[in-house]
Amino acid sequence: MNASRSRFLETVHSALASLRAHKLRSALTTLGIIIGVASVITVVDLTQALETRIMAEVGQEGTHIFFLSSWVPLQRRTQARITRMPMDPGTVRELQVLVPGIRIASPQTSLFNRQGLILKSGSLNRRLSYITAIDEYGLELGNLDLACGRSFTATDRLTRANVAILGAKVAEDLGFTEASLGRTFTVNGQTAELVGILKPHEGIPFVPQDTGEDADMWGPDGMFYVPFGSFRELARPGSFDNAYWTLQVDGAIPVGEAQETIREALRRIRGLHGSDVDNFMLESNSKAIEKVEKIGRTLMLASGAMVGISLLVGGIGVMNIMLVSVTERTREIGVRKALGARRKHILIQFLIEAVALCLVGGLIGLVVGLGFGTLLSQLLMKHLGAVPFWALAASLMVPASVGLLFGLYPAAKASKLDPIEALRYE
């Protein structure tokens, strides 16, 4: 037992000594492994940070938030012959009576104009594609914070006041600051009073941000909010009678139960029975969270494919160098066999060299990937991504497996050398 252990340790020592004797070659050989592992750890870190960032924004709304509209996917509408019905305030009021757990029902609609909407303040102007009409709960439910000014009130909604809250970029383009609160400007010739300016919104990386005139399509910085019911002259017919609704439900009610209760109540209001297909859309924040998690899993799979290609290239490099090493050390192998080294000892030595190269590459790649991932996550996402344990374990186990797989052929070739022929090799 001790003799076997001593022989094994001697084999390990010989393998490591051989790698140390060719430091530059060993370092270059591990480069492919280092790049592959560092790349996947960086991508995993960034993916986790992106998912954390999105989840934080979605989660701020709470899981007991539901989104309701009359929109139905075209495929479902045509297959089931669904007749669309508006989601008007009367329908939602009736829904609140049937489902007392609904604490807030906040409408939202967009006011479009085919020629665009022109905002003017003195000599400055800004073109927008649409205006968003919300009620007094709209900013709160949308997690939008004011930099200055006030939110809309129920009075603004009931009196259809011509007041406005601007996104940070729109306010900047029109030269508005906190001192501008109370000033008036025009939108397509109609006068509006500025009552609030939103805080700048930190965009999510990899999502298009401000692109000039159409920045309003990508976030609240380019938005123009008015009270629900105001500026009807700019709206298309029926815009306020078929709104998109955000429902906040009592947190004591389980999400699944709340969603099913709302769905059944809506079906009853709309006269749907039995197998009739829903002619409305009802989704919860938990659905949005599931979508984010699905995107995260897809990115993980993509990064796995990427590292697989990198490690394949790295493994071929390891096998190539090991074959060169076998050729260079043919005489050494002959001497060792002549002195009593058995075939398995030669096989193990070359396998240890291949696995050690890959493991060292994996370890260096892990450290580099964690460093780059942390740095980029902080710079781009403003969130740190926690690399899962499976990724850390895989960053060492996969390279070790690559070393075994691609080192097996050179090791087997070395172990099969005839000692006499090997000693004659020049």
Q: Give the pLDDT band of residue 425 (cuts 50, 70, 90).
A: low
pLDDT at 157 (0 to 100): 93
Structure token pair of residue 311: 């490690």
- Provide the whole-model pTM: 0.61
pLDDT at 394 (0 to 100): 75
- Give the count of beta carbons closer than 10 Å to the beta carbon of residue 256: 10
Structure letter (DSSP) for residue 213: G
**Residue 116 Cα distances to 129, 171, 235, 418, angstroms:** 5, 18, 12, 84
Q: Say whether pLDDT at 203 is over 60.
A: no
Q: Where are the domains of the chain?
A: 2-57+290-424, 65-284
Distance CA 306, CA 309 (A): 5
Specify the higher pLDDT residue, 317 or 269. Answer: 269
Q: Say whether pLDDT at 262 is over 70.
A: yes
Span 307-358, pLDDT tens digits: 677 777 777 777 777 777 777 666 766 776 676 667 777 777 777 777 887 8
Apex 349 CA angle, 343 and 353, nearest 5: 150
Q: Give the pLDDT band of residue 202 (cuts 50, 70, 90).
A: low
Q: Say whether pLDDT at 215 is over 50.
A: no
Structure token pair of residue 20: 């140390």
Sort strands 190-198 and 102-121 into parallel, antiparallel or unpaired. unpaired
Distance CA 325, CA 157 (A): 81
Least confident interval from 82-96, 119-133, 380-394:
380-394
Give the H or E element holding residue 257. helix 255-269
pLDDT at 247 (0 to 100): 92
Structure token pair of residue 412: 């087997």
